[in-house]
Amino acid sequence: MARRGRKRRPELESEYWQLIMSGVGTVEARKIVGIGRKTGYQWRAENGGLPPARVAEDARSGRYLSLLERQRIATLRRDSLGPRAIARLLGRSPSTVSRELNRNMLSRDRCYDGDLAHARARQRARRPRRSRLITDTDLRELVQAKLELEWSPEQIAAWLRTEFHDHLSWHLCHETIY
């Protein structure tokens, strides 16, 4: 079933979260970005009040293919160029272009579509589930209490493993606590 409503705008969402993280209030951030009250509420609710892991296109590392590069791959592919020739023109490794074509061109697709490939790549990049610290309030309160006692995340992770050895869902990596 197709999603109703307006198309999502990741650049606006990213700008909204950057304003929130810089200390701007939610109402003011909404006004600056130009979104409605319900949209701001929805974004916060979806992420448990925390900024999402994904970032807007301009903030992404050059390590990943951009939308423009994917569109150029589609154009060059339509001109019957192979992965090596495309890679040379883009200044990328041939394996990067070959991997991109294999990952984002399904058997039912007639040709490589840059926009569709970019959407598929962005969808795969999203975290499939919420962090345990967001979903489990008891665990979050316990970790917060240890942080307030100035324990390091490494100490907390080790303590959780020894103290709650039979409660496997509470065994966190120290990077999760960071």
Q: How many CB atoms lie within 10 A of CB 57?
A: 14
- Domain containing 147: what range? 132-177
How many domains in the chain? Answer: 3
In this structure, the answer to whether residues 138 and 112 fall within a common structural domain is no
Alpha carbons 53 and 98: distance in angstroms, whole number: 27
Q: How far is CA 177 from CA 21, 22, 130, 157, 174, in A?
A: 18, 21, 14, 8, 5
Residue 38 lies in a domain: yes
Alpha carbons 15 and 9: distance in angstroms, whole number: 10
In this structure, the answer to whether residues 114 and 65 fall within a common structural domain is yes
In this structure, the answer to whether residues 106 and 143 fall within a common structural domain is no
Q: What is the CATH number of the domain that holds 115?
A: 1.10.10
In this structure, the answer to whether residues 121 and 141 fall within a common structural domain is no
Q: What is the pLDDT of residue 35?
A: 87
Residue 5 lies in a domain: no
Residue 3 lies in a domain: no
Beta carbons of 144 and 134 less than 8 angstroms apart: no
> What is the full per-residue pLDDT of the chain (178 aa) written as tens digits?
445 556 667 778 878 888 887 778 888 888 998 888 888 888 777 666 666 655 555 556 677 888 888 988 988 888 889 999 999 988 899 999 999 998 888 777 788 888 888 888 887 876 666 778 888 888 889 888 988 888 888 898 888 888 888 888 888 888 887 7
3-class secondary structure for 127-147?
A: CCCCCHHHHCHHHHHHHHHHH
Model pTM? 0.46
Residue 1 lies in a domain: no
In this structure, the answer to whether residues 89 and 109 fall within a common structural domain is yes
Alpha carbons 167 and 159: distance in angstroms, whole number: 12
In this structure, the answer to whether residues 72 and 51 fall within a common structural domain is no
